[in-house]
């Protein structure tokens, strides 16, 4: 705009035009010697006039505003505390009833339709549980439905990438002190050949067995000591808040949070009664994995967002999750319904020898961190992540600023130093996503499309607009307008 | 400048004037309806025409440039590795010859002239060594010279605040792998009543005894394990570099570096053979003190800067240190000479109930971190430190940018994410400090002027110009021009 004013008033500068919308108009102006500045504007609400009208009404709906205030207040009041590590069978009823059942990331999906890494991880879990003797037999059980599969999110749980949980895996148990409700996540396996990227060879199964037989029990004893302390467990929000001041966004960068966790648990680890050799293996495993805190961050976010579920009329997003084929969201006022669209392929930085053609579509429950205003929403706090997911520190700051446009409120518990300690977003509003066309940004790892190859890159993606349109149409159907 | 050009060409804007120097000129312009933009310019070289001439010659002196390149190359080639913890008596000859001698921070100073915290700390060290039965007797020994005192810096050592080192204290031993030379620092005591702020009661002496009897030996055993590893010790530059990406500037903020240190040493700690109860006390002590890494950061910086010492004609600053009365610097081409000026009182954020009238003047060897381009020079990396030393994250970034004007070169080992991963300064050039009047900025804690009260605040100060003028005059004396 400044150029147009300046040029017209003061000098012989060429015609300046802001071109909004179709790019075809630009050619005519440029042919006449003019300069065109394209504006990336799109009509709101998916360019559907009826929906645009319903959106205008919804944006002015005081009942929705009140419902969102209720949902956000519950989200902000949640106080996730790490209280235990225990087997999935012992804390998730659906995995403890003797049925052969496994959990996976994202919205529901049939085994046959799943992406390679998720199928590979489920096969690995069947082998790990001893339900089949070899991968082919395991795959047959899954195809036939002899082993059932359900989303983690249907059981208060979350898992990164394939997100596969089986009954004997150790799980983080996070309790929301304000509601008493518990959320769960698996323990992070580290990098390389790991189940969550679909690998299921002996190395992977041996590590899972060690996690079940030594890591889990040692952490359980440790948290027994922690529970006997003043806080009755380890409050997770303060660790996440501090990590945001130490260069983490607690999704794809958890270097500081992992260190803070280890530092905080260490005295209790040493008082756990476990043999020193065992402590050495546990400390080496945790200390050697910058991503170890990720699963705890996810469980904490899940606990905070569960508190916001089920508020009638609320347009607050309570879940964003991907199964490698579909991207699904759930909304507070939408109950348990999933609103889905095709999961995008992530355009990011690929490890040498890999490219987008090798990539599985967006995968994992870890977008629960963005749903809670962290991860991509908090990238400003993690300038060094640009080296991992692409872009510059300035892009990271711009992403965090842009995300503030779709937030319902601010979260005073989590602040971003490079933005002058501005608060993170508390609650994504489906209405605002439609209104401004600003899609939630997500930092994510990229899995190879084939089972077991592992991580091949990392990048930044967005939740697809289709999910938000579907959720909006369900909450504000055409008949209501 | 843009305003002046624009106003003259296009409109009836008022007269715009840049006022350089005396503010008295501004009034006349403003009275005539003009707008004055003051420029904080001062004549270089302390407004001395002879020195200004010598500075102009020195700035164009290729021999000095070559000497500085040599000094900086040695600084950049230094590779500080933590190799041991051992008693001061065993690693510093002057403390191991049976004489009653203590080390202190900053340039040399007589006991009678010292500030309260330094006197208190020396009295505590005399008691700790069992050389006197009570504080009065200890003070008498110090006053009479029966216990001698010398700067840490005269013995390759550094200590924060009072910086007092006595023979039986455990010391970090840092070896520069490129020269084989060793540097030393004491172990951080934590906050509260501590020797380095001049406290010397039973609580302080008991903690020092525990550090001597348990912490030191456990760390020595741990580093024995570390030495047997591939690197033959713990390389410190990578930890410092990583901490700069995690919100530390490794002077007044060492939260990330302390976590990284603990995480890195933990497997070796658990393999040290020390009893679990002992490990628990050690881990709790280290993990409970965000400043624990500070002394190691200082020893590493000292090791890097020692490598740059003694290059004839070099104007690179190799030491900045304060004894609470005088601020002293040493320069590569100036040999062992100290160039001193009165230490400033730090204007910072005071804890409730305290103010500048309670403060000791700037104190401690910790400005060795700024000398190495860290601390205040690297504040951009630590936006959260604004909450501790005052100002805003934007000020922190501005400080780091300004310091680049007095640097000889850049240090690729240390980068600052918020500045697009720009490198930190490698070597402060005395000539540039005089030329631009830009003084080295220092983040520092503030001690109460009375012994033993402890820390009463933190803030940002600058090294006094007098030190740099004195160093310049010594290297480029009037007779030479």
Q: Tell me the C-alpha distance between A154 and A174, whole Å.
A: 16
The candidate with the shortest Cα–Cα distance to B2, out of B40, B30, A1, B13, is B13
* Residue B303 is assigned to a structural domain of this protein: no
Residues B160 and B253 in one domain: yes
Indicate the residue of B247, B393, B418 with minimum beta-carbon distance to A420: B393
For residue B265, CA distances in Å to A83, A263, A285 come to 27, 12, 13
Q: Which residues of B touch A393 (CB under 8 A)?
A: 417-418, 420-421
Contact B191, B289 (CB under 8 A): yes
How many contacts does A have with B, using Cβ atoms within 8 A?
99
* Residue A382 is assigned to a structural domain of this protein: yes
Confidence check: pLDDT of B291 > 70:
yes
pLDDT band at residue A152, thresholds of 50, 70 and 90?
Answer: very high
Host domain of residue B14:
2-39
Q: Tell me the C-alpha distance between B126 and B68, whole Å.
A: 41
Both tokens assigned to B349 = 């954020």
* Residue B412 is assigned to a structural domain of this protein: yes
Contact A374, A249 (CB under 8 A): yes
Domain count, chain B: 3
* Residue A304 is assigned to a structural domain of this protein: no
Contacts of B317 (CB under 8 A, 6+ apart): B329, B330, B331, B332, B371, B427, B428, B429, B430, B440, B471
pLDDT band at residue A298, thresholds of 50, 70 and 90?
Answer: very high
Element (H, E) at B402: helix B393-403
Among A270, A274, A293, which would you mutate to test the B interface (most chain B Cβ atoms within 10 Å of its Cβ)?
Answer: A270
Q: Tell me the C-alpha distance between B189 and B179, whole Å.
A: 30
Residues A160 and A201 in one domain: yes
Residues A380 and A424 in one domain: yes
Query: Distance, in angstroms, between B275 CA and closest chain A CA?
Result: 9
Residues A119 and A137 in one domain: yes
More confident residue, A171 or A348: A171
* Residue B305 is assigned to a structural domain of this protein: no
- Where a domain ends, among A274, A298, A322? A298
Q: Which runs of E-coded beta strand occur in A63-199? A: 80-87, 101-104, 148-151, 157-158, 170-176, 182-186
Say which range, A94-103, B200-209, B448-457, has the weakest mean pLDDT: B448-457
* Residue A83 is assigned to a structural domain of this protein: yes
pLDDT band at residue B5, thresholds of 50, 70 and 90?
Answer: very low
Confidence check: pLDDT of A333 > 90:
yes
pTM above 0.90, yes or no: no
Say which range, A15-24, A418-427, A441-450, has the weakest mean pLDDT: A15-24
Task: Convert the pLDDT of each residue in B137-193 to its tens digit.
Answer: 999 999 999 999 999 999 999 999 999 999 999 999 999 999 999 999 999 999 888
Q: Tell me the C-alpha distance between A228 and A230, whole Å.
A: 7
Q: Which residues of A touch B418 (CB under 8 A)?
A: 383, 393, 418
CA atoms within 13 A on the CB side of B374: 32
Residue of A nearest to B254 (CA): A246
Residues B201 and B347 in one domain: no
Among B270, B278, B421, which would you mutate to test the A interface (most chain A Cβ atoms within 10 Å of its Cβ)?
Answer: B270
Residues A418 and A383 in one domain: yes
Task: Convert the pLDDT of each residue in B338-352 to its tens digit.
Answer: 999 999 988 889 999
The candidate with the shortest Cα–Cα distance to A422, out of A434, A407, A432, is A407
Average pLDDT, stretch B33-44? 60
Looking at chain B, the whole-number percentage of residues with pLDDT higher than 90 is 81
Q: Which residues of A touch B248 (CB under 8 A)?
A: 246
Please judge whether B247 and A266 are an interchain contact, meaning their C-beta atoms are less than 8 angstroms apart. no
Query: Distance, in angstroms, between A292 CA and closest chain B CA?
Result: 13
Q: Which residues of A touch B263 (CB under 8 A)?
A: 258-259, 262-263, 287
Residue of B nearest to A383 (CA): B417
* Bridge partners for A443 per DSSP: A460
Please judge whether B276 and A259 are an interchain contact, meaning their C-beta atoms are less than 8 angstroms apart. no
pLDDT band at residue B394, thresholds of 50, 70 and 90?
Answer: confident
Confidence check: pLDDT of A264 > 70:
yes
* Residue A305 is assigned to a structural domain of this protein: no
Query: Distance, in angstroms, between B480 CA and closest chain A CA?
Result: 49
* Residue A441 is assigned to a structural domain of this protein: yes
Residues A322 and A290 in one domain: no
Average pLDDT, stretch B17-41? 57
Residues A387 and A330 in one domain: yes
Average pLDDT, stretch B258-271? 95
Residues A146 and A197 in one domain: yes
Contact A119, A112 (CB under 8 A): no
Angle at B268 between CA B264 and CA B272, to 5 degrees: 150
Task: Convert the pLDDT of each residue in A315-325 to its tens digit.
Answer: 999 999 999 99
DSSP B12: -
Confidence check: pLDDT of B41 > 90:
no
CATH number for A61 = 3.90.1700.10
Q: Tell me the C-alpha distance between A184 and A177, whole Å.
A: 14
Mean per-residue pLDDT of chain A = 91
Confidence check: pLDDT of A200 > 70:
yes
Residue B2: per-residue pLDDT = 36
DSSP A440: P
Indicate the residue of A287, A386, A394 with minimum beta-carbon distance to B266: A287
Relative to beta strand B35-39, strand B16-20 is: parallel
Question: Could you tell me the maximum CA-CA distance found in chain B, to the nearest angstrom?
Answer: 82
Residues A344 and A237 in one domain: no
Confidence check: pLDDT of A12 > 50:
no
Q: Tell me the C-alpha distance between A243 and A239, whole Å.
A: 6
Residue B388: per-residue pLDDT = 81
Residue A9: per-residue pLDDT = 37
Residues A87 and A34 in one domain: no
Contacts of A441 (CB under 8 A, 6+ apart): A370, A376, A377, A379, A399, A402, A403, A460, A461, A462
Confidence check: pLDDT of A8 > 50:
no
Residues B174 and B234 in one domain: yes
Residue A11: per-residue pLDDT = 40
CATH number for A138 = 3.90.1710.10
Helices (DSSP H) in A14-97: which residue ranges?
24-31, 49-59, 62-77, 88-91
């Amino acid at each position: 705009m400044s150029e147009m004013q300046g040029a017209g008033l003061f000098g012989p500068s060429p015609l300046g035009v802001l071109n909004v919308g179709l790019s075809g108009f630009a050619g005519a102006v440029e042919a006449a010697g003019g300069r065109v500045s394209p504006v990336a504007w799109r009509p709101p609400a998916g360019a559907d006039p009826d929906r645009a009208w319903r959106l205008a009404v919804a944006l002015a709906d005081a009942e929705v505003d009140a419902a969102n205030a209720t949902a956000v207040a519950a989200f902000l009041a949640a106080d996730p505390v790490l209280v235990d590590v225990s087997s999935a069978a012992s804390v998730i009823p659906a995995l403890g009833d003797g049925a052969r059942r496994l959990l996976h990331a994202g919205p529901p999906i049939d085994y046959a339709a799943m992406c390679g890494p998720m199928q590979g991880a489920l096969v690995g879990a069947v082998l790990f549980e001893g339900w089949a003797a070899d991968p082919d037999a395991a795959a047959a059980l899954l195809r036939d439905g002899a082993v059932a599969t359900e989303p983690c999110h249907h059981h208060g749980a979350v898992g990164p990438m394939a997100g596969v949980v089986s009954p004997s895996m150790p799980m983080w148990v996070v309790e929301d002190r304000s509601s008493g409700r518990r959320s769960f996540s698996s323990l992070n396996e580290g990098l390389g050949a790991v189940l969550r990227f679909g690998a299921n060879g002996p190395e992977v199964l041996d590590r899972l067995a060690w996690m079940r037989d030594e890591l889990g029990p040692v952490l359980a004893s440790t948290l027994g000591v922690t529970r006997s302390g003043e806080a009755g467990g380890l409050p997770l929000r303060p660790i996440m808040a501090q990590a945001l001041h130490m260069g983490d966004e607690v999704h794809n960068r958890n270097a500081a949070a992992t260190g803070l966790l280890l530092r905080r648990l260490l005295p209790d680890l040493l008082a756990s009664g476990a043999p020193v050799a065992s402590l050495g293996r546990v400390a080496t495993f945790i200390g050697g994995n910058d991503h170890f805190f990720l699963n705890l961050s996810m469980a904490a976010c899940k606990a905070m967002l569960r508190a916001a579920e089920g508020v009638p009329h609320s347009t607050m997003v309570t879940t964003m999750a991907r199964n490698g084929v579909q991207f699904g969201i759930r909304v507070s006022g939408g109950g348990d319904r999933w609103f889905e669209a095709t999961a995008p392929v992530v355009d990011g930085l690929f490890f040498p020898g890999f490219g987008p053609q090798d990539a599985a579509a967006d995968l994992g429950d870890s977008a629960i961190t963005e749903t809670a205003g962290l991860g991509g929403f908090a990238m400003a706090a993690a300038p060094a992540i640009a080296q991992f997911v692409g872009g510059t520190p300035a892009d990271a700051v711009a992403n965090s600023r842009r995300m503030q446009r779709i937030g319902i409120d601010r979260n005073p518990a989590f602040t971003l130093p490079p933005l002058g300690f501005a608060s993170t977003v508390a609650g994504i509003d489906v209405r605002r996503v439609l209104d401004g066309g600003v899609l939630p940004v997500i930092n994510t790892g990229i899995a190879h499309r084939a089972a077991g190859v592992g991580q091949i890159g990392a990048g930044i993606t967005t939740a697809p607009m289709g999910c938000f349109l579907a959720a909006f149409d369900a909450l504000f159907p055409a008949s209501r307008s």
